[in-house]
């Protein structure tokens, strides 16, 4: 059974285009988990066109967080901004890119809440 993280990134990749991000171009690498249990995802955005891959490197912004924090964001119980400000999310490179794309997470809350 896929994890909440896997489901989120799979669904995000299926969107293809996100009109709210039409002015955003860049890539974000997400390293989610800890130790040997890190899942790596790269989200490329080109004027709202979204692609998701599992490539190992790259990203204009590299985000690190644990699975629990990321799940709370997906479920709508936390926000990327709040988690970043309290240090639960680390970001290297261009953290503004993470902030510009936080609406992607808020839109996932109904999907995440439906997974019991």
* pLDDT tens profile 16-52: 898 888 999 999 999 999 888 899 999 999 999 999 9
Provide the 8-state DSSP code for 66. Answer: -
What residues contact 77, with CB distance under 8 A and at least 6 apart? none
Task: Evaluate whether the domain defined by 4-106 bears CATH number 3.30.1050.10.
Answer: yes
User: What are the domain boundaries of the chain?
Assistant: 4-106
Confidence (pTM): 0.83
Q: Read off the pLDDT of residues 50-90 as tens digits, 9 standing for 90 and up.
A: 999 997 777 899 999 999 999 999 888 988 889 999 999 99
């Amino acid at each position: 059974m896929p994890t909440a993280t896997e489901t989120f990134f799979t669904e995000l990749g299926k969107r293809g285009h996100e009109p709210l991000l039409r002015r955003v171009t860049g890539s974000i690498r997400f390293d989610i988990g800890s130790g040997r249990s890190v899942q790596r995802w790269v989200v490329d955005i080109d004027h709202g066109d979204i692609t998701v891959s599992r490539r190992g490197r790259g990203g204009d912004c590299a985000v690190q967080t644990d699975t629990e924090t990321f799940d709370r964001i997906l479920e709508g119980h936390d926000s990327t901004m709040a988690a970043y400000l309290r240090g639960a999310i680390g970001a290297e490179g261009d953290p503004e890119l993470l902030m510009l794309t936080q609406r992607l997470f808020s839109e996932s809350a109904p999907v995440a809440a439906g997974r019991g």
